Amino acid sequence: MTICLRSWLTKPSTRLGKDVAYSTAGLEHLVGCMPGNMWARWSLLPAFDMQHGRAGTLLAWFDHVSLIRSVFETQPGEDWLRVIDSHWFENTKLVRTNPKTVVWAPDQLDEVDAINLWTHLHDRERERSQAQFGIREEPPQVVISHNQWVNFRYATTYEKTLELCAELGVDYMFVDPPWEHMEAFRSTLE
């Protein structure tokens, strides 16, 4: 089956089988393993789940935006995908489980139809979440991001990115907090 899951660590569409290890928490590559990575829905992970294959199409979505963090994973030899959703109640005033709707259709989708359906669901979820919080649609913003974890020099690392932002008329430039990882901190201290 193919999972459609656009996140910052995964390709938009990934074919899974019994010989494939897959994890949004980085567990399939132990060298890059990041323990505790349960990514937030509506930010680093989409608000919905989508899988498709010969048996049909499976979709799942939550009824409203809430503090949910999730991991998707499978290991070699398994013919299933685990979706682990954790509701983080300690940061909310109201404690209740957010219902999750799961639907299956026998329809087989090709790659183009799958990405089109994913995009439609993504747009629908954006509209629903904006309505939940009363957020108006605004003109698109242009954002450039720059992450640098080696050879980091606070005074000079972002110079070319700033020049590019100015040239393109970028609205925002995003940089990782520069001392959030030890390599940048060590380089700066040196």
Q: Is residue 6 within 8 Å of residue 118, measured between CB atoms? A: yes
**What confidence category does residue 33 fall into, taking pLDDT thresholds of 50, 70 and 90?**
very low
64, 67, 69, 70: CA torsion to nearest 10: -20
What are the tokens at 63?
């009824």
What's the pLDDT score for residue 32?
43
Residues 158-173 pLDDT 10s:
899 999 999 999 999 9
For residue 178, give Cα distances in angstroms to 35, 37, 165: 21, 20, 19
* pLDDT above 90 (res 181): no
What's the pLDDT score for residue 22?
84
Mean pLDDT for 63-75 is 88
Residues 76-88 pLDDT 10s:
888 888 888 888 7
* pLDDT above 90 (res 74): no
